[in-house]
Chains A and B, each alone.
Chain A
Amino acid sequence: MLMEVKDLSLSIGKVALLDRVSFAVDRGQVLGLVGESGSGKSLTALALTGLVRRIGGRITGGSIVFDGQELSDLPEPAYRKLRGKRIAFITQNPMSALDALKTIGDQVDQVSRLHLGLSRKAARAHTVDILTRLRIPEAATVARAYPHQLSGGMKQRVVIAMALAADADLIIADEPTTALDVTVQAQIVMILSELVRKRNIGLILITHDMGVVAQICDKVCVLYAGRVAESGPVGQLFDAPRHPYSAALIGCIPREGMATGALKGIPGTVPSALNYGAECCRFASRCSRADALCHTTRPLPHAQGAAWVACHHPQGIAAQPEALDV
């Protein structure tokens, strides 16, 4: 495994935000981390990149093993050598990820000069090469441009170029296409998917878009209120989701041939981290299958088909995505 996260728990101050989160991603694989806002997706990304300490977070349990190395207690200087070089991070908003006062080329060059020790000249050649491979027309000219001269889709490609500049083994992308138009989103998603296959790297894709998940992910981990609800291969998740939350989430996407009124949504909202109960299923108050057990006992992950599911009443194999009543 390229990266294996096991029982990761994390707190900020006294508030426990992640509770025993586990997943793994290998080379050549795309793992989708999905869930509604407030489920802990972005926090997980910060934990994996060692950035969570900067916002006052603390890993309280579990392990993060990357290529044989334990990261959960890695000191910051060692993390600095890893981050950008072997683990790259693509943030949601390309507009704020780039320095407005430096040219595109200078920003991408910086990565390979710092991590690969390339000379100024070699770094620029490397940058132009990467930009060209990301299908940026006239890459040498673009390298001399400033961020404000580029469109959103172009900027996001530049951010991806920065992630690739030091030949990272693992890319963590936090909602990389959310701020982009659909036709541009399609370009970026296809580029990412191609990179994983061609360079045999791992990709952890954080998204709330089930369409993108279905398109490029191999495995999916569904988070809900800081816990893993269901995790397994993408095919089973869409064909026969076992956790009622996964099923409801898939049922929220309009698709061709859906009857009017079939789209119901999930009643209620994600609970606030201040009101997470420890000894219950956190989805119970929104779930159509919940009973007394769900409100008093925490469901533990157990194998269901090819997936791990944390539910007392998982849905059967033949079950269709169930629309919940509001």
Chain B
Amino acid sequence: MSEPILALSGLTRRFSTGGGFLRPARSMTAVRGVDLQVARGDIVGVVGESGCGKSTLARLAMRLLEPSDGTIRFEGQDVTHLGGRALKSLRKKLQMVFQDPYSSLDPRYTVRDCIEEPFRALGEPVPPGRVEDLLDQVGLPRSFAESYPHQMSGGQRQRVGIARALAYAPDFVVLDEPTASLDVSIQAQIIALLQDLHRQRDLTYLFISHDLGLVRYFCSRIVVMYLGSVVEVMEDPHAAPRHPYTRALMESSFVPDPEARATIVPLEGEIPSPFALPQGCPFAPRCPRVQDRCRSELPQPTATTIGRVSCFNPIEA
């Protein structure tokens, strides 16, 4: 791999809550020692269930949250502790599209205000015609420039969110579940738009999602997270998974074909509380392939033919 555009190493984020009168503080690790390298032009998908730390990872990579540990390198430069003006400049190259287009747009801003905002934030003049160009690129009529978010549907708002992220012509865009709140027909439109933009503008994406089917379609690499840790990285999104959790996720997504009805054996049990993680592998309490060792030792990532897996008893190829 040539030099990665984004390299995360040992990235960790802890949160603590409570700590009042008679109440001890509790702490949880939302992201635990994540190592990830993203090559230019890649579409890396991060999947997992709620609480697995995928959105926290996105926010750490964006420098919207401060990491507790580890480093973030962007285009070779250590940006872990960048601040002030330098951080603002970084955001010209590193942008984000948020999950909920209903809360990520200011209801009192017109579409034009919204797309011009990144320029104003840096105190720079807006290049003439930029707003219209961006509206063209995201497939919205130019007349929308003077509209307000409440006049638009969810899909149209998400297009505005994408236009805003592209305002500065970034190299890297973090997409945090950009289609989770949309209908499937609109989701497909937005994914098609993101694919076109990726090709035309030579972008790199970090795509956060809970939908493994969508990630396998859209992404060139897949990172699977469970309770804050990366359990598997798949360089080939269509390969058979090695980690039992990835396989369970895959089997839980129903195929839209009544002929392919499977007798699904759902995972038993619930995701443990992140405040009281089990010793050893976090997946051990629900794992169908669990061994004694899994309950006491934390598996380290090992290379597989399709990527890497953190499991003592991975599924054979």
Q: Which residues of A contact B (CB under 8 A)?
A: 36-37, 151, 153-154, 181-187, 189-190, 208-215, 217, 234-235, 238, 248-258, 260-261, 263-267, 269, 326
B251 at the interface (CB under 8 A from A): yes
Quote the shortest CB–CB distance from A167 to chain B (angstroms): 25
- CB-defined contacts of B261 to chain A, threshold 8 Å: 214-215
Whether B264 lies near A190 (C-beta < 8 A) is yes
Per the bound structure, the CA–CA distance linking A252 and B255 in Å amounts to 13
Whether B257 lies near A249 (C-beta < 8 A) is no
Per the bound structure, the CA–CA distance linking A151 and B270 in Å amounts to 8
- CB-defined contacts of A253 to chain B, threshold 8 Å: 184, 213, 256
Contact partner of B254 among A36, A153, A211, CB < 8 A? A211
B218 at the interface (CB under 8 A from A): yes
Given contacts A154-B270, A254-B213, A269-B186, contact A182 B49 (CB under 8 A): yes
Per the bound structure, the CA–CA distance linking A248 and B251 in Å amounts to 25
26 A–B contacts from the bound complex (CB under 8 Å): A36-B184, A36-B186, A37-B183, A153-B270, A154-B270, A181-B271, A182-B49, A182-B252, A184-B270, A186-B267, A209-B254, A214-B256, A214-B260, A215-B254, A215-B258, A215-B264, A235-B259, A248-B185, A249-B185, A253-B256, A255-B257, A258-B217, A263-B217, A265-B186, A265-B188, A266-B189
Whether B184 lies near A214 (C-beta < 8 A) is no
Contact partner of A256 among B187, B192, B238, CB < 8 A? B238
Name the interface size band of chain B. 35 or more
B17 at the interface (CB under 8 A from A): no
Whether A211 lies near B256 (C-beta < 8 A) is yes
B93 at the interface (CB under 8 A from A): no
6 smallest beta-carbon distances between A and B, as pairs: A265-B188, A265-B189, A211-B254, A254-B217, A186-B252, A266-B185
- CB-defined contacts of B253 to chain A, threshold 8 Å: 182, 211
Interface centre among B188, B211, B212 (most CB of A within 10 A): B188
Contact partner of A234 among B183, B187, B258, CB < 8 A? B258
Per the bound structure, the CA–CA distance linking A234 and B261 in Å amounts to 12
Whether A264 lies near B188 (C-beta < 8 A) is yes
Kindly list 18 other residue pairs between chains A and B, CB separation below 8 angstroms, not including A210-B256, A326-B192. A151-B271, A181-B210, A183-B49, A183-B267, A186-B252, A186-B254, A211-B213, A212-B254, A214-B261, A235-B259, A238-B257, A252-B184, A254-B213, A256-B255, A263-B188, A263-B217, A266-B188, A267-B189
Number of A-B contacts (CB under 8 A): 130
B126 at the interface (CB under 8 A from A): no
Per the bound structure, the CA–CA distance linking A264 and B217 in Å amounts to 12
B155 at the interface (CB under 8 A from A): yes
Quote the shortest CB–CB distance from A80 to chain B (angstroms): 34
Given contacts A182-B249, A183-B248, contact A214 B185 (CB under 8 A): no
- CB-defined contacts of B191 to chain A, threshold 8 Å: 254, 263, 265
Per the bound structure, the CA–CA distance linking A240 and B234 in Å amounts to 34
Given contacts A255-B213, A264-B189, contact A183 B252 (CB under 8 A): yes
Shortest Cβ distance from A39 into B: residue = B183
Per the bound structure, the CA–CA distance linking A289 and B217 in Å amounts to 27
**In chain B, residues 176-208, which have Cβ atoms closer than 8 Å to a Cβ of chain A?**
183-192, 195
Q: Which residues of B contact A (CB under 8 A)?
A: 49-50, 139, 153, 155-156, 183-192, 195, 210-214, 216-218, 238, 248-249, 251-261, 264, 266-267, 270-271
- CB-defined contacts of B266 to chain A, threshold 8 Å: 183, 186-187, 190
Whether A255 lies near B255 (C-beta < 8 A) is yes
Whether B256 lies near A255 (C-beta < 8 A) is yes
- CB-defined contacts of B264 to chain A, threshold 8 Å: 186, 190, 215
Per the bound structure, the CA–CA distance linking A234 and B190 in Å amounts to 28
Per the bound structure, the CA–CA distance linking A165 and B4 in Å amounts to 57
- CB-defined contacts of B184 to chain A, threshold 8 Å: 36, 208-210, 249, 252-253
- CB-defined contacts of A267 to chain B, threshold 8 Å: 189
Quote the shortest CB–CB distance from A291 to chain B (angstroms): 22
- CB-defined contacts of A235 to chain B, threshold 8 Å: 258-259
Shortest Cβ distance from A215 into B: residue = B254
Quote the shortest CB–CB distance from A189 to chain B (angstroms): 7
Per the bound structure, the CA–CA distance linking A279 and B146 in Å amounts to 33
Contact partner of A214 among B155, B212, B251, B255, CB < 8 A? B255
Interface centre among A183, A209, A251, A263 (most CB of B within 10 A): A183
Per the bound structure, the CA–CA distance linking A212 and B213 in Å amounts to 13
Contact partner of B257 among A214, A251, A266, CB < 8 A? A214
Quote the shortest CB–CB distance from A277 to chain B (angstroms): 19
Quote the shortest CB–CB distance from B175 to chain A (angstroms): 15
Shortest Cβ distance from B190 into A: residue = A265
